[in-house]
Amino acid sequence: MKSFWSITLATLTKDIRLEWRSKDALNAMLFFSLLVVVIFVFSFDPLAEESRHIVGGLVWVAFLFAAVVALNQTWARELRNQVLDAYRVSPASANALFLAKVLGNFIFVSLLEALMTPLFIIFYNLRALGPAWQLIPIGLLGTWALVVNGTFFAAMSLRTRSRELMLPLLLFPVSIPAVLGMVAGTTSILTGENPAHFWIVLLLTYDVVFTTACLGLFETVLQAE
């Protein structure tokens, strides 16, 4: 068990180091999200009240699409020089690799969200009418839902010819319940009309179910030829 966490930490550190040096995923995600914010600002000019109803959807759709960029990069760097084979021939646990990748993506996407959220607040003149602190569990659980499935499906589509197209095709349908929870939960808090507890519980359940399923299946995906 000690070895499992040690390998997870080593892989996570390695991924952060590689991303820090190349900035492939972060630059692409930031640029993409910034474009989405600017395009939406010019497309709509909502009143503050209208913003509260639509921004939940805009924010999460922007983060979902931006996350796909990072998710594709995650495994792409393991394919260069076939480095993944070095992991596959080692005694290291497949799930240690998966967990490290999920944690890495969680950190990258959370960083993106932390940088972009203030821009959404400024551009859409947002102020939450409900308990704003509940945006934190919704943000964390929603981000985990995106990256856990995204990391899994990115690994699944790794050996397909058009993997960058395959990932959204696999990920988006499976993510519908989570996206619904994120958008409805965020809107509930911003408008203050309904409590967001149901959506938080939904996201928590979704995360537990899909994290367990992905951990259970990842070894098969990793060893697939």
Partner 1 sequence: MTNPSIAPIGAPIVVIVITGLIKQFGRFAALRGLSAEFDAGKFHVILGDNGAGKTTLLRALAGLAQPTRGTVSILGMDPQEACREIGYMAHPSLLYDEMSGMENLRYFARLYDIVGDERCEQVIRAVRLDPELARPVGQYSQGMRQRMSLARAILHDPKILLLDEPFSNVDVHSAREMVALLKAMRDAGKTIFVVTHQAALLEGVADEFVWMQAGQIVERTAGLASNSTRAGER
Residues making contact with partner 1 (CB under 8 A) = 3, 6-7, 10-11, 14, 17-18, 21-22, 77, 80-83, 85-92, 223, 225
Beta carbon of residue 39, minimum distance to partner 1 (angstroms, whole number): 33
Beta-carbon contacts of 50 under 8 Å, excluding residues fewer than 6 positions away, are none
Q: Residue 206 CB: number of other CB atoms within 10 A?
A: 23
For partner 1, the closer of residues 162 and 223 by Cβ is 223
Beta carbon of residue 104, minimum distance to partner 1 (angstroms, whole number): 14
For partner 1, the closer of residues 80 and 161 by Cβ is 80
Q: What 3-state DSSP class applies to 162?
A: coil
Selection from 103, 172, 190 nearest residue 143 by Cα: 103
Beta carbon of residue 121, minimum distance to partner 1 (angstroms, whole number): 35
Assigned token pair, 155: 């690994």
For partner 1, the closer of residues 24 and 164 by Cβ is 24
For partner 1, the closer of residues 94 and 135 by Cβ is 94
Beta-carbon contacts of 7 under 8 Å, excluding residues fewer than 6 positions away, are 92, 93, 96, 97, 100
Selection from 145, 153, 139, 147 nearest residue 205 by Cα: 145
For partner 1, the closer of residues 47 and 89 by Cβ is 89
* 74-97 CB burial, b ≥16 within 10 A, e <16: bbebbeeeeebeeeeeeebbbbbb
Beta carbon of residue 74, minimum distance to partner 1 (angstroms, whole number): 14
Beta carbon of residue 211, minimum distance to partner 1 (angstroms, whole number): 23
Q: Can you tell me the distance from the alpha carbon of 95 to that of 158, in angstroms, rounded to the nearest whole number?
A: 17
Beta carbon of residue 17, minimum distance to partner 1 (angstroms, whole number): 7
For partner 1, the closer of residues 169 and 224 by Cβ is 224
